[in-house]
Structure 1
Amino acid sequence: MQLSFDADVEEFRAEFVRFLDEHLPADAAAGERPGSTGDIPEWARAWQRVLFEHGWLVPGNPPGYGGRGAGILQQYVHREELARRGIYENFNPQGSGIIAASLLTFGTEEQKQRWAAPILRGDLTAALGMSEPGAGSDLAGLRTRAVRDGDVYVVDGQKVWTSGAHDADVLLTFVRTDPEAPKHRGISALIIPTDLPGVERRPFASVCDPGDLDFNEVFFSGVRVPAENLLGPENQGWRVANGSLGHERNLLWTSFAVRLDGLLADFHPVGPVQEDRYATLALDAQALRLLGSGAVAKAAAGEDDPAEMSVLKLLGSEAVQRASEHALAAAGGGALPHPDVTARHSPFNVDESAPGWFERFVRSFAGTIAGGTSEIQRTIIAERILGLPRG
Structure 2
Amino acid sequence: MDLTFSEEDDRFREEAREWLADNLSGDFAELKGLGGSGREHEAFAERLEWNRHLAESGWTCLGWPTEHGGRGLSLSQQMIFHEEYARADAPARVNHLGEELLGPTLIAWGTDEQRARFLPPITAVKELWCQGYSEPGAGSDLAAVRTRARLAGDTWIIDGQKVWTSLAHHSDWCFVVARTDPTTTRHAGLSYLLVPMDQPGVTVRPIVQLTGTSEFNEVFFDGAVTDTTMIVGAPGEGWPVAMGTLGFERGVSTVGQQVGFARELETVRNRARENGTIDDPIIADRLAQAQVGLEVLRVHALRTLSAYESGSMGPEASVAKLLWARWHRDLGELAMDVLGGSALTTGPSYELDDLQTLFLFSRADTIYGGSDEIQRNIISERVLGMPREPRP
TM-score w.r.t. length of structure 2: 0.88
Match of 1:312 in 2: 320
Alignment of 1:235-314 (within 5 A): 235-251=236-252, 253-267=254-268, 268=272, 269-300=278-309, 302=310, 304-314=312-322
Match of 2:339 in 1: 331
Q: Does 1:166 align with 2:169?
A: yes
Match of 2:275 in 1: none
Match of 1:348 in 2: none
Residue 363 of structure 1 aligns with an amino acid whose one-letter code is: F
Match of 1:14 in 2: 14
Once the two structures are overlaid, the 10-residue window that deviates more, 226-235 or 37-46, is 37-46
> In the superposition, relative to structure 1, how do residues 199 and 265 fare at CA in structure 2: closer, same or farther (>3 Å)?
same
Percent identical among aligned pairs is: 37
Q: Distance in 2 between matches of 1:16 and 1:142?
A: 42
Q: Distance in 2 between matches of 1:325 and 1:66?
A: 43
Alignment of 1:212-231 (within 5 A): 212-231=213-232
Match of 2:35 in 1: 33
Deviation, 1:109, is: 2.5
Match of 1:76 in 2: 79
For the residue of structure 1 that corresponds to 2:215, the secondary structure is: strand
Q: Distance in 1 between matches of 2:336 and 2:158?
A: 45
Deviation, 1:385, is: 2.8
Higher relative contact order (CA 8 A, sep 6+): 2
Q: Distance in 1 between matches of 2:334 and 2:45?
A: 37
Deviation, 1:26, is: 4.1
Q: Distance in 2 between matches of 1:148 and 1:40?
A: 40
Residue 169 of structure 2 aligns with an amino acid whose one-letter code is: H
Deviation, 1:107, is: 2.0
> Which of 372, 384, 387 is the matching residue for 1:386?
384
Q: Distance in 2 between matches of 1:185 and 1:270?
A: 57
Once the two structures are overlaid, the 10-residue window that deviates more, 142-151 or 284-293, is 284-293
Contact kept? 2:105, 2:245, Cα under 8 Å? yes
Alignment of 1:195-234 (within 5 A): 195-209=198-212, 212-234=213-235
Give per-residue Cα distances to partners, 1:333-368, cap 9 Å, x unaligned.
Answer: 21123465778xxxxxxxxxxx34222111112322
For the residue of structure 2 that corresponds to 1:333, the secondary structure is: helix
Contact kept? 1:189, 1:232, Cα under 8 Å? yes
Q: Distance in 1 between matches of 2:132 and 2:40?
A: 14
Residue 20 of structure 1 aligns with an amino acid whose one-letter code is: L
Structure 2: segments with no counterpart, 5+ residues = 273-277
How many aligned positions are there?
Answer: 377
Residue 372 of structure 1 aligns with an amino acid whose one-letter code is: G
Structure 1: segments with no counterpart, 5+ residues = 344-354
Once the two structures are overlaid, the 10-residue window that deviates more, 120-129 or 318-327, is 120-129
Match of 1:351 in 2: none
Q: Distance in 1 between matches of 2:188 and 2:201?
A: 26
Q: Distance in 2 between matches of 1:264 and 1:36?
A: 18
For the residue of structure 1 that corresponds to 2:252, the secondary structure is: helix
Residue 192 of structure 1 aligns with an amino acid whose one-letter code is: V
Q: Does 1:136 align with 2:119?
A: no
Q: Does 1:186 align with 2:189?
A: yes
Contact kept? 2:35, 2:41, Cα under 8 Å? no
Deviation, 1:159, is: 0.9
Q: Distance in 2 between matches of 1:70 and 1:223?
A: 38
Contact kept? 1:25, 1:47, Cα under 8 Å? no
Q: Distance in 2 between matches of 1:82 and 1:196?
A: 36
Q: Distance in 2 between matches of 1:65 and 1:44?
A: 24
Q: Does 1:321 align with 2:323?
A: no
Q: Distance in 1 between matches of 2:238 and 2:177?
A: 7
Q: Distance in 2 between matches of 1:339 and 1:138?
A: 39
Q: Distance in 2 between matches of 1:112 and 1:328?
A: 47
Give per-residue Cα distances to partners, 1:246-295, cap 9 Å, x unaligned.
Answer: 11424354254223212220122331010111111111011111222233
Give per-residue Cα distances to partners, 1:98-117, cap 9 Å, x unaligned.
Answer: 12332232222322232232
Match of 2:65 in 1: 62
Deviation, 1:5, is: 0.9
Contact kept? 1:253, 1:316, Cα under 8 Å? no
For the residue of structure 1 that corresponds to 2:364, the secondary structure is: helix
What value does the CA root-mean-square deviation take over the aligned residues? 2.5
Q: Distance in 2 between matches of 1:41 and 1:250?
A: 24
Q: Distance in 1 between matches of 2:19 and 2:320?
A: 31
Give per-residue Cα distances to partners, 1:104-150, cap 9 Å, x unaligned.
Answer: 32222322232232133221111111111111111110001101111
> In the superposition, relative to structure 1, how do residues 298 and 151 fare at CA in structure 2: closer, same or farther (>3 Å)?
closer
Deviation, 1:162, is: 1.0
For the residue of structure 1 that corresponds to 2:374, the secondary structure is: helix
TM-score w.r.t. length of structure 1: 0.88
Deviation, 1:36, is: 8.0
